[in-house]
Amino acid sequence: MVERGPGVLTRYGALRGAAKDGVAAFLGVPYAKAPVGPLRFRAPEPVEPWDGVRAATAFGPTAPKRPYAPPLDALLPDPDVAGDDCLNLNVWAPWGGTGATAGTDGTGGTGGTGRGTGEGGRPVMVWIHGGSLIHGSSAVPVYDGTAFARDGVVLVSVNYRLGIEGFGVFPDAPGNIGLRDQIAALSWVRENIAAFGGDPERVTVFGESAGAISIAALLASPLAEGLFRRAVVQSGAPIAQPLATARRTTEAVAARLGVPATAGAFARVDRARLLAAQTEVTGKGSPLTGGHSFQIVVDGEVVPRDPAEALSAGASAGVDLLMGTTTEEYRLWFVPTGVTDRVGPVVQRLLLRKAKVPSRAARVYRAGRPREKPGEVLGALATDKLLRIPLNRLADARLRSGGPGGTYLYEFGWRSPVLDLGACHALELGFVFDTLDLPETRALTGPDAPRDLAAAMHAAWVSFASTGDPGWRPWDPARPVMTFGPGLPSLVEAPREAERKAWEN
């Protein structure tokens, strides 16, 4: 049953959303001014207050981007919503009998009657999407926040600037603009989330892939300190490039356009032409073997030092941290494109050498996977080099530091039958959000994904946001990892330990 449009009063003005079955959704809410004109290639500025009641019933504009290239476009939905006001977010909150109820006439209430668990309000989760910093948005249907709100969480999802406009490196513009957008959104949450029944002192930021890499940078950023209490890092690791290295991508796009590598020059280029050049330059980049890509940079301000070094040295030691990977991350890229079949032993060795994979690690993986193709062994090495090993090292460093923040690791191992993708990158998202019924989720999972596994994984994320404990033992010398499939969730100590040890110096 569709209910009357609920209303809240934020610091910037009144909003009217939509409610259904005890969940209210406020979509396309601006958290900063539109990054156009003189604000293009500039740090975000606070949104201007508005008069009257602003409708918040449709997703706002997405950041300028191009679609995924085939075959990924069929597996990863990426809606494109036109418009300049792309610095917006969405809020799903418990409503009606179980949530905030003030202002349900749409004239702007305070949400003050829906405090939920704890005196300060309900736990809040802020989602930062992935997409290699060039794709994605908060409008992806898989990220629908209804299930989180159903289970007592106020869920926020965020748009931020992508590609050259979010992560270009210029002499006449600030660095990490897209990361600054995320910090601005988190600041908005701190100022306004109580109006939706959320507790600003119980914010968990979570993200996947480039979103997880962003969160690792936020954990190391002094500008984000105090904006969240907990973090979930899904299939991403702490990484950032020096300014000079990251600037090469900007320079390559500039050369393609025939303009100086300055923000002023780029701002005068037609956006469609800019996106086309960006795609041409980054199309062949690979995290394993290099090439042009957009990365978070060590800019001395937002990210003062390499996030891996900062976190290992104790940054955010008081923040509870849940992190993990899928078992076969690589299959999303290697299988649909045929890499697993094309790579033979000789090419495998060349690529491993180019990626600076230790020869000892290569020998251990080959010996332990005698029935796997050379391309599959290469993918397993890539998954661990880029993701599993850095996260294990971070967990170990946090354990050694003895900080107050809890550390928990997981692995998602259920295998999708779609195109033989297996337990590939991004597969866990429909389980975390409990959106298995959506056709956009089924594009990756198929129609028969196990609902009990989604219920368990989603419940763990809710529990972590609520209490700091996802429901299993925190990291200790026995290396406990909660594995979500195949089969029932189970705690495994030191999975594939011989392979992990092969990376030790």
Comparing CA positions, the residue from 433, 424, 428, 288 lying closest to residue 350 is 288
Q: Among this protein's residues, is 458 annotated catalytic?
A: no
209 is catalytic: yes
Whole-number Å distance between alpha carbons of 485 and 414: 4
Residue among 137, 138, 209, 466 flagged as catalytic? 209
**What are the residues whose beta carbons fall under 8 Å from the beta carbon of 501, sequence distance 6 or more?**
none
List the one residue out of 380, 355, 356, 354 whose CA is nearest residue 367: 380
Cβ–Cβ under 8 Å, residues 234 and 127: no
Length of the chain (residues): 505
Cα dihedral: 457, 399, 304, 186 (round 10): 30
- Provide the greatest CA pair distance for the chain: 68
> Which of 312, 425, 440, 466 is flagged as catalytic?
425
SS3 227: coil
> CA of 272: how far to CAs of 31, 38, 64, 268, 419, in Å?
25, 19, 9, 12, 33
What are the Cα distances from residue 312, in Å, to 177, 212, 213, 298, 399? 25, 17, 15, 16, 10
Count of other CB atoms within 10 angstroms of residue 280: 13
Q: Are 185 and 229 in contact (CB under 8 A)?
A: no
Residues 6+ apart with CB under 8 A from 487: none
Quote the DSSP letter at residue 473. Answer: P
Instruction: Compute the distance between CA of residue 302 and CA of residue 323 in angstroms, rounded to an integer.
Output: 22
Q: What is the DSSP letter of 139?
A: T
Quick one: DSSP state of residue 370?
T
Rounded Cα distance between 328 and 411, Å, is: 10
Q: For residue 373, give the amino acid letter.
A: K
Active site residue 48: no
Structure tokens at 145: 């926040």
Q: Determine how many CB atoms are found less than 10 A away from the CB of residue 307.
A: 27
Which has the closest alpha carbon to 334: 286, 283, 371? 286
Determine which one of 208, 328, 329, 411 is catalytic.
Answer: 329
Q: Which residues are catalytic?
A: 209, 329, 425
